[in-house]
Structure formats: structure tokens, C-alpha cells
Amino acid sequence: MFAQSRDADAVLLVMPSDHVMRDTTAFLKCALQAAPIAAQGRMVLFGVKAREPHTGYGYIRQGAALNGAVGGFAVEAFCEKPDRAKAKAYLAQGGYFWNSGIFVLSARAYLAELERLAPTIYAAARDALDKATQDMEFLRLEPTAFAASPNISIDYAVMEQTKAAAMLELDVGWSDVGSWAALWEASSRDEQGNAVDGDALLIDTKNCVVRSERSLVAAIGVDDLVIVDTPDALLVADKARSQDVSAVVAKLKQSNRKEHEQHVRNYRPWGYFETLSVGGRFQVKLLHVKPGGKLSMQMHHHRSEHWVVVRGTARVTVGDTVKLVQENESIYITATHWHRLENPGKVPLEIIEVQIGSYLGEDDIIRADDAYNRGPNEIS
């Protein structure tokens, strides 16, 4: 809708971010080949010729060739992620392609089909955009209207019901990297078949994915494992079960834990912060404030904060007092005192923040003024 408001004949290339394209030149060629087909009202998706009986992808069954559309085919059917026996049958029969989830479509044609097939989604999207607000680089969709949209994918809502679907074959070394096993397949590997990223010592270890973001990982006498060590969690899994990580996320949610939504590095409009250490009544963070970045005027009920500048210059407001704090200088903010941190300089500002108090959650924040129009109690 936004694209069409700027160009009535807009053609969109819509794709996930988590995939690999080994031949980007060939991919661009396919996208350009799809554009005129989409301009005629077809919704084009890319099918990847199935190389193995993969059970983690949906499949497309190729239909008849399209007249006047070079390389284009109708879509005869969409097939859900199959079990292994059915995937083998697809491979043996031929004419089945992995659904890459990459689309080229006319905004006008897609919106017409969306309004016809999924009017509640269309109405919610229109309402969210019509009531959107803009500040700085953000276009903020109206949240209540956006939340009213049913939680359903484009495949279910439109593509599996429309007669306007078309397909082009994509042969560019594509993978959606949807699991650690897929990442292993897409990565360079050592002589023992191990894909290693970070500091690792491997003895008699084969065909493993090892990623270390924190410290040395040592593995002895293991095969086909995924070992991922990050600052906030350690994952060890059978590589064949790597798609089941979502079950861990579900368990974290059921246990009311925070790891699935709050990470060591948390991004904000003004920059980001990293959690360095957490104790019973204290927490240490490293704040990175981009040039011109400005935190909200805020107050905390349960914690005090001690800021030490390690790089750059900070402009700190505490109550009615404004002070410039240089490198190797510090300032203390008592709980319940209104305060603000800004980076008035040209280089990134880095602050060590030591929090002390009875409750250190990110939701202990009240805002009185914010350059990014966040709500009084909005965490992000």
C-alpha cells in the first residue's frame, strides 16, 4: 500500500532476509525476468529445483508454461512441508520445486487479490497505514489496527487460493538457512567436515557446527553436533534435530524466562546496550550512543545508576542540571530522579552503566519526553 501510494504501477521484490544466494548475478537476472510477468498481473514466486527429499520446505507443483512469459509457469498446486516418504515421492516424480518464499508482484494486483481473498487483512493493513505517524526516519503503523490483522502467511491467505500465481525456476545455489544444519551445509568446512566460527579446539570431532562468541569451545570425540556458545546461552544439539530449537523457545516462554526476547545486545533508536554482568542487586551494561543520539527523559523507581564515560563526551541532564561528562569522568543518578543522556559529539559515545537496586528489569522506566515518540512505559 505504501509503495502504491508512491508509484501506482509499483512492482515489488519481496524476500526473506535469512537466505543464501551463491550466484547473485543469476538471481538479479531472474528478478528482472519476473518483473514484466508481474506487471501483467501475475504474482510470481521462485521455485528451487528439489535436490533432495527435504522435509523443512514447502513444495510447488509446476503447471503449464505461460504464454508470452519466458520461463514462466502456472502453479498447479502448493504442497505443505511433507514427511520424508512424500518428499521422496515428489523427487522421484519430478516437477516439484521448493518454495523459496521470494515473490515478484505488482502492488496493484496483489492488493486486489488480498482484498478479495483476505478482506480482514486488507482492512487492518489499510487502517494501520492510514493512521500511521511519522517522526524522524520512522513510519509508525497504528498498533491497534495492525494487531487486528489475522496471524496468517501470504501463502495461506493469498497464494494458495489465487489463480494468478506464477513460477520461475531459481537456480542460484539458494538455501533459506532455516536451521543450524542448513548453516553447516552453506558454510566452508575443515577436513573433518566441521564448520567453525570463533575459538574452538576440536579433537576426533566430525561434521559439527561450532560457534563461539564468548570463550574457547573444546569438543572431543563427537559427531554431528551443533555447539553454539553465546554470552547469554549455550546450545548443544544433535544436528539432525537442529530445526527443533523452536521447542526450546516455547519452553522459555512457558517458564516466563526472558532469554527468548531480551538478548545481551539490545538495539534502541539511539544505539544499543550490552549486558556485561548481572548479580542479585546489580547489573552492568555498556551503552553505545550514536552521534546525535538522545535517550528519553526518564525515571526509575527501583534502581540508581552510575555512569562512567569510556569514549566520547556525554551531555547529562539530572533534574534541572545539565552537565558535560568527559572520558574517564562519571556521574551518579539516584532512583526516582529524572535524567537524560545525550551524545552531542561526532564520535560514538560509550558509557559503562552500573545499576543498583531491588528491581533491574527494563520495564522499570517512566518517560516524560522522547525524541523517538515512544510511549511513557514502552520498553524498546
Pair 55, 243: CB distance under 8 Å: no
**CATH value at residue 305:** 2.60.120.10
Count of all residues that appear for the chain in the document:
380
Residues in Cβ contact with 188 at an 8 Å cutoff, skipping those fewer than 6 apart: 195
- Write out the residue range of the structural domain in which residue 91 sits: 2-175
3-state DSSP assignment of residue 141: coil
What is the rounded (10 degree) CA torsion for 86, 92, 93, 99?
Answer: 60
**Shared domain check, 6 and 149:** yes
Is 125 found in the same domain as 88?
Answer: yes
The number of domains in the chain is 3
Residues 132 and 227 placed together within one structural domain of the fold: no
Domain assignment present for 140: yes
What's the whole-number mean pLDDT along residues 3-30? 92
Q: What is the pLDDT of residues 96-147, one digit of tens each?
A: 999 999 999 999 999 999 999 999 999 999 999 999 998 767 788 999 999 9
pLDDT at 239: 92
For residue 42, which of 103, 121, 133, 102 has the smallest C-alpha distance? Answer: 103
Look at 1 and 18; give whichever has higher pLDDT. 1
| Cβ count near 333 (within 10 Å) | 24
- Phi-psi label, residue 282: left if phi above 0, alpha if psi -120 to 50, beta otherwise: beta
In terms of Cβ atoms closer than 10 Å to its own Cβ (0-12, 13-18, 19+), residue 68 is: exposed
3-class SS at 304? strand
pTM over 0.85: no
Pick the closest to residue 200 from 181, 226, 180 (CA basis). Answer: 226
Residues 192 and 126 in one domain: no
Clarify whether residues 63 and 189 are in a common domain.
no
